Protein backbone atom coordinates (compact mmCIF):
# COMPACT_ATOMS: atom_id res chain seq x y z
CA UNK A 1 0.00 0.00 0.00
CA UNK A 2 1.36 3.45 -0.90
CA UNK A 3 0.24 6.91 0.04
CA UNK A 4 0.90 9.94 -2.17
CA UNK A 5 2.41 12.88 -0.24
CA UNK A 6 3.37 14.91 -3.33
CA UNK A 7 0.94 17.79 -2.72
CA UNK A 8 0.54 18.86 0.90
CA UNK A 9 -2.46 21.08 0.20
CA UNK A 10 -4.29 18.34 -1.67
CA UNK A 11 -3.34 15.87 1.05
CA UNK A 12 -4.70 18.23 3.71
CA UNK A 13 -8.02 18.57 1.88
CA UNK A 14 -8.32 14.82 1.52
CA UNK A 15 -7.49 14.27 5.18
CA UNK A 16 -10.18 16.67 6.34
CA UNK A 17 -12.76 14.70 4.34
CA UNK A 18 -11.72 11.33 5.80
CA UNK A 19 -14.11 9.39 8.01
CA UNK A 20 -14.00 9.58 11.79
CA UNK A 21 -13.61 6.11 13.25
CA UNK A 22 -15.36 5.03 16.43
CA UNK A 23 -13.46 2.83 18.87
CA UNK A 24 -15.15 -0.40 17.75
CA UNK A 25 -14.45 0.16 14.04
CA UNK A 26 -10.89 1.23 14.75
CA UNK A 27 -10.22 -1.93 16.75
CA UNK A 28 -11.72 -4.13 14.05
CA UNK A 29 -9.53 -2.53 11.37
CA UNK A 30 -6.41 -2.84 13.50
CA UNK A 31 -7.08 -6.52 14.16
CA UNK A 32 -7.76 -7.17 10.48
CA UNK A 33 -4.36 -5.73 9.63
CA UNK A 34 -2.52 -7.45 12.49
CA UNK A 35 -4.07 -10.88 12.09
CA UNK A 36 -4.93 -11.06 8.38
CA UNK A 37 -2.60 -8.41 6.85
CA UNK A 38 -5.67 -6.83 5.27
CA UNK A 39 -4.25 -3.89 3.31
CA UNK A 40 -7.67 -2.32 2.77
CA UNK A 41 -8.14 -2.19 6.54
CA UNK A 42 -4.70 -0.63 6.94
CA UNK A 43 -5.41 1.97 4.25
CA UNK A 44 -8.68 2.91 5.89
CA UNK A 45 -7.02 3.23 9.31
CA UNK A 46 -4.15 5.35 7.99
CA UNK A 47 -6.42 7.58 5.92
CA UNK A 48 -8.69 8.27 8.89
CA UNK A 49 -5.79 9.58 10.97
CA UNK A 50 -3.80 11.51 8.36
CA UNK A 51 -5.43 14.70 9.67
CA UNK A 52 -3.65 14.02 12.98
CA UNK A 53 -0.33 13.49 11.20
CA UNK A 54 -0.72 16.69 9.17
CA UNK A 55 -1.66 18.69 12.25
CA UNK A 56 1.46 17.51 14.08
CA UNK A 57 3.66 18.16 11.05
CA UNK A 58 2.50 21.78 11.02
CA UNK A 59 3.94 22.32 14.51
CA UNK A 60 7.47 21.75 13.18
CA UNK A 61 7.37 24.24 10.28
CA UNK A 62 9.43 26.72 12.29
CA UNK A 63 12.49 24.50 11.85
CA UNK A 64 12.63 25.44 8.18
CA UNK A 65 11.77 22.07 6.63
CA UNK A 66 9.34 21.97 3.67
CA UNK A 67 5.81 21.22 4.81
CA UNK A 68 5.47 18.48 2.22
CA UNK A 69 8.51 16.68 3.68
CA UNK A 70 7.18 17.05 7.21
CA UNK A 71 3.85 15.54 6.16
CA UNK A 72 5.66 12.67 4.48
CA UNK A 73 7.64 11.92 7.63
CA UNK A 74 4.47 12.21 9.73
CA UNK A 75 2.77 9.73 7.39
CA UNK A 76 5.67 7.30 7.74
CA UNK A 77 5.41 7.57 11.52
CA UNK A 78 1.69 6.90 11.26
CA UNK A 79 2.28 3.77 9.20
CA UNK A 80 4.91 2.54 11.66
CA UNK A 81 2.39 3.05 14.48
CA UNK A 82 -0.18 0.98 12.58
CA UNK A 83 2.39 -1.78 12.13
CA UNK A 84 3.22 -1.95 15.85
CA UNK A 85 -0.21 -1.16 17.32
CA UNK A 86 -1.79 -3.81 19.56
CA UNK A 87 -5.60 -3.30 19.55
CA UNK A 88 -5.99 -5.63 22.54
CA UNK A 89 -4.37 -3.14 24.89
CA UNK A 90 -7.55 -1.08 25.15
CA UNK A 91 -5.88 2.16 23.98
CA UNK A 92 -7.12 4.28 21.08
CA UNK A 93 -4.92 4.20 18.01
CA UNK A 94 -4.66 8.01 17.89
CA UNK A 95 -3.17 8.06 21.41
CA UNK A 96 -0.60 5.43 20.44
CA UNK A 97 0.21 6.99 17.05
CA UNK A 98 1.09 10.43 18.44
CA UNK A 99 4.40 9.16 19.82
CA UNK A 100 5.47 7.52 16.54
CA UNK A 101 4.45 10.52 14.44
CA UNK A 102 6.35 12.97 16.64
CA UNK A 103 9.43 10.71 16.76
CA UNK A 104 9.47 10.36 12.98
CA UNK A 105 9.24 14.12 12.42
CA UNK A 106 11.87 14.91 15.05
CA UNK A 107 14.29 12.39 13.54
CA UNK A 108 13.79 13.99 10.13
CA UNK A 109 14.35 17.53 11.45
CA UNK A 110 17.54 16.51 13.23
CA UNK A 111 18.87 14.59 10.22
CA UNK A 112 18.39 17.61 8.00
CA UNK A 113 19.36 20.39 10.38
CA UNK A 114 22.39 22.07 8.86
CA UNK A 115 24.55 21.84 11.99
CA UNK A 116 23.30 18.58 13.49
CA UNK A 117 23.85 15.75 11.08
CA UNK A 118 24.79 12.87 13.39
CA UNK A 119 22.59 10.17 14.92
CA UNK A 120 20.65 11.33 17.96
CA UNK A 121 20.13 9.95 21.42
CA UNK A 122 17.08 10.77 23.52
CA UNK A 123 19.08 13.37 25.47
CA UNK A 124 20.25 15.03 22.24
CA UNK A 125 16.66 15.20 21.03
CA UNK A 126 15.54 16.81 24.28
CA UNK A 127 18.30 19.40 24.00
CA UNK A 128 17.79 20.08 20.32
CA UNK A 129 14.10 20.86 20.67
CA UNK A 130 14.24 22.59 24.07
CA UNK A 131 17.66 24.22 24.58
CA UNK A 132 16.89 27.61 23.02
CA UNK A 133 13.49 27.89 24.71
CA UNK A 134 14.85 26.94 28.14
CA UNK A 135 17.88 29.20 27.75
CA UNK A 136 15.73 32.18 26.81
CA UNK A 137 13.43 31.53 29.77
CA UNK A 138 16.31 31.55 32.28
CA UNK A 139 17.80 34.68 30.73
CA UNK A 140 14.49 36.54 30.95
CA UNK A 141 13.99 35.46 34.56
CA UNK A 142 17.52 36.58 35.49
CA UNK A 143 17.01 39.91 33.72
CA UNK A 144 13.76 40.51 35.60
CA UNK A 145 15.70 40.06 38.86
CA UNK A 146 18.45 42.39 37.70
CA UNK A 147 20.96 39.51 37.51
CA UNK A 148 23.31 38.40 34.78
CA UNK A 149 24.11 34.73 34.30
CA UNK A 150 27.50 33.63 33.03
CA UNK A 151 27.73 30.85 30.48
CA UNK A 152 28.61 28.13 32.98
CA UNK A 153 25.73 29.00 35.30
CA UNK A 154 23.31 29.01 32.40
CA UNK A 155 24.49 25.64 31.11
CA UNK A 156 24.18 24.10 34.57
CA UNK A 157 20.61 25.39 34.89
CA UNK A 158 19.72 24.02 31.45
CA UNK A 159 21.28 20.67 32.37
CA UNK A 160 19.07 20.37 35.46
CA UNK A 161 15.95 21.63 33.68
CA UNK A 162 16.19 19.26 30.71
CA UNK A 163 17.60 16.36 32.71
CA UNK A 164 20.84 15.80 30.78
CA UNK A 165 24.54 16.05 31.57
CA UNK A 166 26.47 19.32 31.46
CA UNK A 167 28.69 17.79 28.76
CA UNK A 168 25.65 17.17 26.55
CA UNK A 169 24.58 20.80 26.95
CA UNK A 170 28.04 22.07 25.99
CA UNK A 171 28.14 19.74 22.97
CA UNK A 172 24.73 20.80 21.71
CA UNK A 173 25.54 24.49 22.14
CA UNK A 174 28.53 23.98 19.89
CA UNK A 175 26.43 22.25 17.25
CA UNK A 176 23.85 25.00 17.28
CA UNK A 177 26.29 27.90 17.45
CA UNK A 178 26.98 28.29 13.69
CA UNK A 179 24.79 30.77 11.88
CA UNK A 180 21.97 30.75 14.43
CA UNK A 181 20.69 34.14 15.42
CA UNK A 182 19.58 35.08 18.89
CA UNK A 183 15.98 34.28 19.71
CA UNK A 184 16.02 37.49 21.75
CA UNK A 185 16.73 39.52 18.61
CA UNK A 186 13.96 41.86 17.49
CA UNK A 187 11.91 40.84 14.47
CA UNK A 188 11.97 44.40 13.17
CA UNK A 189 13.56 47.73 13.97
CA UNK A 190 10.23 49.22 15.06
CA UNK A 191 9.97 50.30 18.67
CA UNK A 192 6.97 48.03 19.18
CA UNK A 193 8.59 45.02 17.51
CA UNK A 194 8.76 41.71 19.36
CA UNK A 195 11.52 39.18 19.95
CA UNK A 196 11.72 36.01 17.83
CA UNK A 197 11.30 33.93 20.99
CA UNK A 198 7.76 35.27 21.25
CA UNK A 199 6.88 33.61 17.94
CA UNK A 200 7.76 30.11 19.18
CA UNK A 201 5.03 27.85 20.45
CA UNK A 202 5.43 26.93 24.10
CA UNK A 203 4.78 23.18 24.26
CA UNK A 204 5.33 22.99 28.01
CA UNK A 205 2.25 21.84 29.94
CA UNK A 206 0.55 24.41 32.15
CA UNK A 207 0.57 23.97 35.92
CA UNK A 208 -3.15 23.19 36.14
CA UNK A 209 -2.81 20.55 33.43
CA UNK A 210 0.10 18.91 35.27
CA UNK A 211 -1.86 18.77 38.53
CA UNK A 212 -4.91 17.36 36.77
CA UNK A 213 -2.82 14.75 34.96
CA UNK A 214 -1.08 13.68 38.19
CA UNK A 215 -4.46 13.29 39.90
CA UNK A 216 -5.91 11.32 36.99
CA UNK A 217 -2.89 9.02 36.76
CA UNK A 218 -2.98 8.29 40.51
CA UNK A 219 -6.68 7.44 40.25
CA UNK A 220 -6.08 5.26 37.21
CA UNK A 221 -3.28 3.37 38.97
CA UNK A 222 -5.64 2.66 41.86
CA UNK A 223 -8.28 1.33 39.48
CA UNK A 224 -5.73 -0.88 37.71
CA UNK A 225 -4.35 -2.30 40.97
CA UNK A 226 -7.89 -3.16 42.07
CA UNK A 227 -8.65 -4.76 38.70
CA UNK A 228 -5.44 -6.82 38.83
CA UNK A 229 -6.43 -8.22 42.22
CA UNK A 230 -9.43 -9.88 40.61
CA UNK A 231 -7.23 -12.00 38.34
CA UNK A 232 -5.79 -15.42 39.01
CA UNK A 233 -2.09 -15.70 39.74
CA UNK A 234 -1.37 -16.97 36.22
CA UNK A 235 -3.43 -14.21 34.63
CA UNK A 236 -1.65 -11.54 36.67
CA UNK A 237 1.72 -13.00 35.67
CA UNK A 238 0.84 -12.92 31.97
CA UNK A 239 -0.54 -9.37 32.12
CA UNK A 240 2.57 -8.12 33.95
CA UNK A 241 4.97 -9.81 31.55
CA UNK A 242 3.06 -8.80 28.41
CA UNK A 243 1.98 -5.24 29.25
CA UNK A 244 3.80 -3.85 32.28
CA UNK A 245 7.43 -4.61 31.51
CA UNK A 246 9.67 -2.07 29.78
CA UNK A 247 10.39 -4.80 27.21
CA UNK A 248 7.20 -6.93 26.93
CA UNK A 249 7.71 -10.65 26.55
CA UNK A 250 6.46 -12.58 23.55
CA UNK A 251 3.65 -15.12 23.59
CA UNK A 252 6.17 -17.76 22.60
CA UNK A 253 8.55 -17.13 25.53
CA UNK A 254 5.68 -17.16 28.03
CA UNK A 255 4.32 -20.35 26.51
CA UNK A 256 7.68 -22.07 26.90
CA UNK A 257 7.93 -20.98 30.55
CA UNK A 258 4.37 -22.01 31.46
CA UNK A 259 4.22 -25.11 29.27
CA UNK A 260 1.38 -23.71 27.13
CA UNK A 261 0.92 -22.94 23.45
CA UNK A 262 1.14 -19.40 22.08
CA UNK A 263 -2.58 -19.47 21.30
CA UNK A 264 -3.43 -20.54 24.85
CA UNK A 265 -1.37 -17.65 26.26
CA UNK A 266 -3.25 -15.26 23.96
CA UNK A 267 -6.59 -16.70 25.16
CA UNK A 268 -5.66 -16.34 28.85
CA UNK A 269 -4.48 -12.79 28.17
CA UNK A 270 -7.77 -11.91 26.45
CA UNK A 271 -9.80 -13.36 29.35
CA UNK A 272 -7.69 -11.37 31.84
CA UNK A 273 -8.29 -8.15 29.94
CA UNK A 274 -12.02 -8.82 29.84
CA UNK A 275 -12.07 -9.32 33.61
CA UNK A 276 -10.10 -6.12 34.14
CA UNK A 277 -12.39 -4.16 31.83
CA UNK A 278 -15.48 -5.31 33.74
CA UNK A 279 -13.85 -4.40 37.03
CA UNK A 280 -12.87 -0.95 35.79
CA UNK A 281 -16.31 -0.29 34.33
CA UNK A 282 -17.90 -1.27 37.65
CA UNK A 283 -15.69 1.12 39.63
CA UNK A 284 -16.32 4.33 37.75
CA UNK A 285 -17.73 5.60 34.48
CA UNK A 286 -14.77 8.00 34.35
CA UNK A 287 -12.53 5.12 33.39
CA UNK A 288 -13.94 5.29 29.84
CA UNK A 289 -11.87 8.46 29.36
CA UNK A 290 -8.77 6.35 29.85
CA UNK A 291 -9.90 3.26 27.94
CA UNK A 292 -11.46 5.12 24.98
pLDDT value of residue 41 = 93
CA distance 85 to 246: 16
Please report, in tens digits, the pLDDT of each residue of the chain (292 residues total). 445 545 556 666 677 777 888 999 999 999 999 999 999 999 999 999 999 999 999 988 877 788 889 999 999 999 999 999 999 988 999 999 999 999 999 888 877 765 545 445 777 777 777 787 888 888 888 888 888 888 888 889 988 888 888 888 887 777 666 544 556 666 666 656 677 667 666 666 666 667 777 777 777 777 778 888 888 999 989 988 988 888 889 999 999 999 999 899 999 999 988 888 888 777 655 554 544 4
pLDDT value of residue 290 = 47
Determine the 3-state secondary structure of 290 from DSSP: helix
| Whether 135 contacts 158, CB under 8 Å | yes
pLDDT value of residue 116 = 46
Specify the long-range contacts of residues 109-114, CB closer than 8 Å, at least 24 apart.
Answer: 109/60, 109/63, 109/65, 112/65, 113/63, 114/178, 114/179
Contacts of 290 (CB under 8 A, 6+ apart): 216, 220
CA distance 147 to 139: 9
Q: Judge residue 116's burial from the number of C-beta atoms within 10 Å of its C-beta, 0-12 exposed, 13-18 middle, 19 or more buried.
A: middle
What dihedral do alpha carbons 110, 114, 119, 125 form, nearest 10°?
-40
> Domains, the chain, ranges and CATH?
8-112 (1.20.120.1810), 122-199 (no CATH), 207-291 (1.10.10.10)
Summarised one tens digit per residue, pLDDT across range 54-93 is 999 998 887 778 888 999 999 999 999 999 999 998 899 9
pLDDT value of residue 43 = 92
pLDDT value of residue 192 = 63
Q: Is 120 left (phi over 0), alpha (psi -120 to 50) or beta?
A: beta
Q: Name which of 108, 102, 120, 106 is nearest 175 in CA terms.
A: 120
| Whether 235 contacts 220, CB under 8 Å | no
pTM across the whole model: 0.49
CA distances from 72 to 5, 99, 199, 217 (A): 6, 16, 25, 34
CB atoms within 10 A of CB 89: 12
CA distance 181 to 192: 20
pLDDT value of residue 114 = 53
State the angle between helix axes of 39-48 and 50-58 in degrees (0 to 180), rounded to the nearest 10.
Answer: 40
pLDDT value of residue 176 = 67
Bridge partners (DSSP) of residue 195 are 186
pLDDT value of residue 10 = 66
pLDDT value of residue 179 = 47
pLDDT value of residue 288 = 47
Q: If you ran DSSP here, which 8-state letter would residue 229 be given?
A: H
Amino acid sequence: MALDFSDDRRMSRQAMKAELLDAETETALARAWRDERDEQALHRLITAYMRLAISMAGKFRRYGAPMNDLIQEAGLGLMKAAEKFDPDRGVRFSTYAVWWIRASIQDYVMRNWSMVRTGSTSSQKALFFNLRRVQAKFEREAMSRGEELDGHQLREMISREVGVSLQDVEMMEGRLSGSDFSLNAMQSSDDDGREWIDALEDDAPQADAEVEQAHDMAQLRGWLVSAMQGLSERERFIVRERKLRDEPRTLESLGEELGLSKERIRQVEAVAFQKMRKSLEAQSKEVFHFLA
